[in-house]
Amino acid sequence: MQRLLLWSLSQLSWCHEASPMQQMQGNCVSSMFNGSSQVRNRQVLSTMLRGGKNAPEEENVSADADSKSLQQMRKELKDEYNFNGADQLSIDEVEEAWLSYALQREMEEMADKVRFPIYDASAIDNEDKWDVLAEIDFNNGGSFLLDDKIEDMHLPDILELFAAFVRFGSSEQKHTTWQKDGSVYTAIPQMFIDFAKECRVDASYRLLRRCLRHTFDSRTESLDNKTAKIVLCNGEVGIHLSTPIPASMKKDIYDGDTVLTKDKILCAKCDCKSGAQKKNRNVCVHTKPRGLLLSVLLAEDLAEHMLLELTSMLTSAAVESDVWSEEQVEKAKKSVLILMEASGDVAAATEAAKKDTLFDMLQPYKTGTQQQKQWDRKHKPPTADEIGPFDEIILDSPEQKAKEVFNRSSPKTKLDQVEEVVNFTPNYIQTGIVLNASGYDPSKSGFVGFQLLEHRRNKQPVDLNALPQLISTAQSEWRELLQEAESRSMRQSKQQLANLTQNQPASPLTKRKSYELRSQIITPSPKKMKKSGAKQCSKVGCDNIEGKGIQFNRIPAEPPELPDGASLAKKLTHRARKELWLESMDRIGRNRGVDKTKGLRICSCHPSETIRRQLYVEDNGTKASKLFDLTVVVGAGVGSSVIPSETTKGVGKDRFAQQQLQQLRDDEDNARSSQEELPRDASPVEMTERENVRLRGELASTTLQMQRLAELTSDDSRQSSPITCPAVEKSAGFVEGKERPSNLAPNQKRRFKVVEVKNTFLRSSSNKNKNSTANKHYSTGKKELSAQKPPTVLPTMDCSEVKRRTGFCNVSTLLAYVIVVCNGDFDRIRKRRTSLTWFEEWFLYLEWKYHATNLRQQDMEAAWGIDKRFINHVKDCKAALDMAAFLSWPIFASFEEDKALRNPQKWAKYDKYRVIQWDMTNIPAPKFADASLHRATFSQYYGMNCAKSGIGMQLCGWVIPEKAWTGAVEDGPYHSNAGYLQAQKEFQEADLVAGKVIKFHNILDRGYRGNVTAFRNDQLCLQPPSSRSDRRFTGKQTIFAGSVARDRSGNERGVRVMKRSGLFKRGFKETMSVKRFCDAVLTWGFQVNFMYKPVH
């Protein structure tokens, strides 16, 4: 009824203009409806009665609703939209619910706008849309080119088709609006990028990623054993490919077909749930991998074999011109060049591009016979996924694999460390001596690692006579070690240390021939005299010229302009040289920046000084500056007060020196006059006075001579200064016109120069680029070397800080573990890779392994003040020492040690048995883009990608970590193949008790299948019983299961101790080094024995 009224009113509104009375009627009609649809229907009716000017969207929605019955709407809600409970909806609710999916229907209708595939899936079965030219068996390589069914006119098109499968676009081409395109766009041929854009309404990035993922899946079969068809559709040559594509995670394998030309996807069919079937026309994620597999086969060896076959067809240059048109020949040439590059022979392609004919281009592939060439296939089909140690996996993404296959990049650089692990024989006595020197007593420790150390030290033989000397040496070495931890220093490189330690061989001296013999052989050339005019001082007001014994120095000229693209360092140096020229011209009285006279000189009468200037330049939108020291002449212009005057008596110091010198000259003159003969009747007093005058004159004369000698011969500016006052020079007795002394340093050739002040570089952002990240690596002030900074951590630091950052309870325990790792060797403890102290480097490594603070790389750089490269050097250095200790110590505790350190009350029932408990735990890993890695690391039990590591524990609490494997491994296979059962067998045979072998009893969880493996390794296995089908446990089985479960609780707590490391909990990241991470996990299991109390 409601629909009928709506329809009648809508028809009425189209016939004539609505009157006010009709609007009232519409309102009355709309009031008949209730519920949430009442408002909507009222609005629709009112707009209709006003003239039918409702929104187009509402017209379409209402039209669709009118064309559907309630039963059809309800059915579509259940079948197409997965609307649960559609049967319980009322009539109005059904209509409203159906209308609410209008957006989804609009998006589904957009599928009609998608271009590819052109035909629906039924065309593959009928084959009525194209003609089959020939069938290809890829077992025979490129021999299909010689098939008689393929006409010669189609060969250029076939070559163009296959070349399109390996043609890559320009690296500068943009495919997205992102700041930087994803790596997938440079790893895949251009035709697949173009196909992806026409197969989806939105972005095609995900479709390309899935294409690479399925193509390089290890379960995907190669095309080298498959067949294909060459087809012709509307004059275009295409290829029909058929091969199964496996699912990424499931065990399903989907059969399908894809028909492609060089620029179209004609048809696609696939058995997957999203694949096209019958009348459907769509591309699923398994469509394009079938074409990309052909690209991989071409890059591996098919392209080369096709060129060999094509060469055998062209017997002369005339063949191509007789059979093909010019357009076809050009098409074949371009295709041949692309196939050459795809085969990896880029040099041959470069030379072939210079040839005129196709026959000449293919000469490198001529093998001496025109017969068909046999295809020597190099490619091997991929093997199934191998589950094994996690540190042996290769973390190559599908993009990286594609780039390597298509010769688009070099193999990925390995991130593994290069530090050599040097094992040692544990010296428990030496380690104990150093521990005692550090103030740590292992006998009083509650940690099982130090308890084992003390137990083994008591068993090791010792030389009692040498023991006091060892203790004294260890104490003095330890005191020196603590002093070294208080300050940083520059670490000397290996080459520097080698130069200091080894004796440098002296170069042999050859005896020179006599001068007489040499002069007979060599005739000296005449001395070339440099012609130049008389030099004159260029400073305004000075008329000194050459010839008076005066030195002259060149004034720097204006530097030439820099070329475009000059570096920032050259820009700063050029700015400093220009500032030196401007300042020099200003100080000699010339116009600054205007007078560009070259060849100016200045005499040494004018002293120089050093000034410091902050100079700025523009570089890439930013402003950079640096300090420079400029050596320039003192003063400026004619009236400068610093220019020495010929008449001035100088300053107060000069006048005092003049008075002293004048007094000496007077005494000398008086002495000369006193040399006249005295009268004979002179009194004794007069004779005495005359003698005193003579002596004072001799003293003055001697003093003046010594002063002159010192002034003229001294080279040390600290002992003698040049006299710059003419009055003082005259009083000192220096003659006018003598060679004046210069304030140049010895052997200094350039008087005016530019000296860069180190560590003063500054860079500030411009207004246009204030937030640019390009400037984040430039310092904003004088940078202080890390070696000049004080240590950030010291051996005297607080215990709470040590526990927060490393997990150790105090510094003493941390240092004790370092001593154990280094086997009591002070050289190993001191080993450094940076300017940090030895204690800082150990603290950095242990903090990283505990992974509770400074988690990010930039946090570590800020905390320690060194670059990430050096941080990784520290990690690798310490990890090598840590791994050496882990490998050098015995894997297991002996039966005697285990029994002595275990809890006798708890483990009384195992008093006569050698027991070890094993369990497995997960280490999180990322979701790898590569399908093989994704499957190999995905654990069904944990429901995540991870690595799985075995953790063993003996009853004394000694924790034994095992290598991590990929997460898909199950407990039983890991227990059988990890190798620790074989190690236990060797250990129990070596650790005899009263001449007998005490076998290991392995306590395992119910999920293990380890009885047979343990039996074959001469060991026993204890597991909780498992019920079969619907059988119930007996009373004895229940008691036994409870006992084993109670005992295994200790092993569960041991697993929790392993997970106290944040690195263990956080898991592996793709940017990490696999080996560095796995070694850290192993050594952490060794470390927990020395930092946590045993779980027993």
Any idea of the CA torsion for 587, 592, 595, 599, to the nearest 10 degrees? Answer: 40
pLDDT at residue 513 in the model: 39
Any idea of the CA torsion for 776, 777, 780, 783, to the nearest 10 degrees? Answer: 150
- Pairing between strand 944-954 and 1000-1003? unpaired
pLDDT at residue 623 in the model: 82
- Please state which of the ranges 40-49, 340-349, 429-438 shows the lowest mean pLDDT: 40-49
| Most confident option among 601-610, 726-735, 814-823 | 814-823
β-bridge partners, 236: 233
- Please state which of the ranges 85-99, 673-687, 1013-1027 shows the lowest mean pLDDT: 673-687
The DSSP symbol for 301 reads: I
Three-state secondary structure call for residue 231: strand
Any idea of the CA torsion for 177, 178, 180, 182, to the nearest 10 degrees? Answer: -100
**What is the model's pTM?**
0.61
Average pLDDT over residues 679-691: 66
- The helix or strand, by DSSP H or E, that contains position 602, with its residue range, turns out to be strand 601-603
pLDDT at residue 1089 in the model: 95
**Identity of the amino acid at 60:** N
Say yes or no to pLDDT of 350 above 90: no
The residue among 499 and 246 whose pLDDT is bigger is: 246
pLDDT at residue 507 in the model: 42
Q: How far apart are the first and last CA of the chain?
A: 82
**Identity of the amino acid at 251:** K
The residue among 71 and 435 whose pLDDT is bigger is: 435
Say yes or no to pLDDT of 511 above 70: no
Lookup: tokens for 469: 């000397």
Cβ-count burial of 161 within 10 angstroms (0-12 exposed, 13-18 middle, 19+ buried)?
buried
Distance between CA atoms of 732 and 657, rounded to whole angstroms? 9
The DSSP symbol for 406 reads: T
DSSP E strand stretches across 262-351: 265-270
Say yes or no to pLDDT of 343 above 90: no
Average pLDDT over residues 98-102: 82
Distance between CA atoms of 181 and 175, rounded to whole angstroms? 7
Q: Tell me what the pLDDT averaged over the chain comes to.
A: 79
Lookup: tokens for 435: 């521990």
Cα angle: 682, vertex 688, 694; to 5 degrees = 110
The DSSP symbol for 173 reads: -
Counting every residue, how long is the chain? 1096
Distance between CA atoms of 339 and 347, rounded to whole angstroms? 13
The DSSP symbol for 969 reads: -
Label residue 195 by pLDDT band (50, 70, 90). Answer: very high
Say yes or no to pLDDT of 984 above 70: yes
* CB 841 within 8 Å of CB 878: yes
Q: Which residue has the tokens 């021939």?
A: 513
Lookup: tokens for 244: 């199964």
CA 525 to chain centre: 62
* CB 921 within 8 Å of CB 949: yes
DSSP character string of 120-171:
-THHHHH--SSEEEEEEEGGGGGGGGG-TTS-GGGHHHHHHHHHHTT----T
* Model confidence pLDDT, tens digit, residues 1062-1086: 999 999 998 899 999 999 999 999 9
* Model confidence pLDDT, tens digit, residues 359-375: 889 888 876 444 444 55
Say yes or no to pLDDT of 47 above 70: no
Say yes or no to pLDDT of 506 above 60: no
- Please state which of the ranges 390-399, 465-474, 762-771 shows the lowest mean pLDDT: 762-771
Say yes or no to pLDDT of 117 above 70: yes
The residue among 701 and 869 whose pLDDT is bigger is: 869
- Residue 781's contacts (CB-CB under 8 Å, 6 or more residues apart) are 762
Average pLDDT over residues 557-579: 87
**Identity of the amino acid at 748:** Q
Lookup: tokens for 753: 């120069």
Packing angle of the helix pair 190-197, 288-297 (nearest 10 deg): 170
pLDDT at residue 545 in the model: 78
* CB 440 within 8 Å of CB 816: yes
- Residue 242's contacts (CB-CB under 8 Å, 6 or more residues apart) are 226, 227, 228, 255, 256, 257, 258, 290
Label residue 18 by pLDDT band (50, 70, 90). Answer: very low
Backbone angles phi and psi of 299, in degrees to 5: -70, -30
pLDDT at residue 816 in the model: 97
Say yes or no to pLDDT of 527 above 50: no
Distance between CA atoms of 865 and 867, rounded to whole angstroms? 7
Say yes or no to pLDDT of 83 above 60: yes
- The helix or strand, by DSSP H or E, that contains position 918, with its residue range, turns out to be strand 914-924
Closest CA to 201 of 100, 115, 90: 115
Say yes or no to pLDDT of 767 above 70: no
**Would you say the C-alpha torsion 437, 443, 445, 450 has a positive or negative sign?**
positive
β-bridge partners, 939: 944
Q: Which residue has the tokens 């595939």?
A: 117
Label residue 637 by pLDDT band (50, 70, 90). Answer: very low
- The helix or strand, by DSSP H or E, that contains position 12, with its residue range, turns out to be helix 2-15
- Residue 301's contacts (CB-CB under 8 Å, 6 or more residues apart) are 141, 343, 375, 376, 377, 378, 379
DSSP character string of 1040-1093:
HHHHHHHHHHHHHHHHHHHTTSHHHHH---TTS-HHHHHHHHHHHHHHGGGTS-
Label residue 960 by pLDDT band (50, 70, 90). Answer: very high
* Model confidence pLDDT, tens digit, residues 407-434: 877 666 555 556 889 999 999 999 999 9
Label residue 843 by pLDDT band (50, 70, 90). Answer: very high
- The helix or strand, by DSSP H or E, that contains position 44, with its residue range, turns out to be helix 37-49
- Residue 249's contacts (CB-CB under 8 Å, 6 or more residues apart) are 934, 935, 938
* Model confidence pLDDT, tens digit, residues 245-273: 999 888 899 999 999 999 999 999 999 99
The residue among 279 and 61 whose pLDDT is bigger is: 279
Lookup: tokens for 350: 């470069």
| Most confident option among 34-43, 137-146, 747-756 | 137-146
- Please state which of the ranges 266-280, 527-541, 966-980 shows the lowest mean pLDDT: 527-541
Percent of the chain with pLDDT over 90: 39
- Residue 862's contacts (CB-CB under 8 Å, 6 or more residues apart) are none
Q: Count the Cβ atoms, other than its own, within 10 Å of residue 706.
A: 10
The residue among 733 and 962 whose pLDDT is bigger is: 962
Cis peptide bond upstream of 117, omega within 30: yes
The residue among 797 and 113 whose pLDDT is bigger is: 797
The DSSP symbol for 411 reads: P
Distance between CA atoms of 666 and 1060, rounded to whole angstroms? 95
Distance between CA atoms of 1075 and 110, rounded to whole angstroms? 50
- Residue 582's contacts (CB-CB under 8 Å, 6 or more residues apart) are 592, 593
* CB 937 within 8 Å of CB 947: yes
Closest CA to 584 of 562, 615, 606: 606
Q: Which residues in 1032-1058 are b (16+ Cβ under 10 Å) and which e?
A: eeeeeeeebbeebeebbebbbebbebb
Average pLDDT over residues 546-573: 81
Say yes or no to pLDDT of 860 above 90: yes
- Please state which of the ranges 350-354, 678-682, 744-748, 837-841 shows the lowest mean pLDDT: 744-748
Distance between CA atoms of 138 and 570, rounded to whole angstroms? 60
* Model confidence pLDDT, tens digit, residues 990-1030: 999 999 999 999 998 877 878 888 999 999 998 887 766 56
Packing angle of the helix pair 799-806, 811-821 (nearest 10 deg): 50
Distance between CA atoms of 811 and 822, rounded to whole angstroms? 17
| Most confident option among 48-62, 533-547, 1032-1046 | 1032-1046
- The helix or strand, by DSSP H or E, that contains position 73, with its residue range, turns out to be helix 70-79
Average pLDDT over residues 543-562: 79
Cα angle: 830, vertex 831, 834; to 5 degrees = 110
pLDDT at residue 727 in the model: 54
The DSSP symbol for 960 reads: E
pLDDT at residue 657 in the model: 64
Label residue 683 by pLDDT band (50, 70, 90). Answer: low
Average pLDDT over residues 540-556: 76
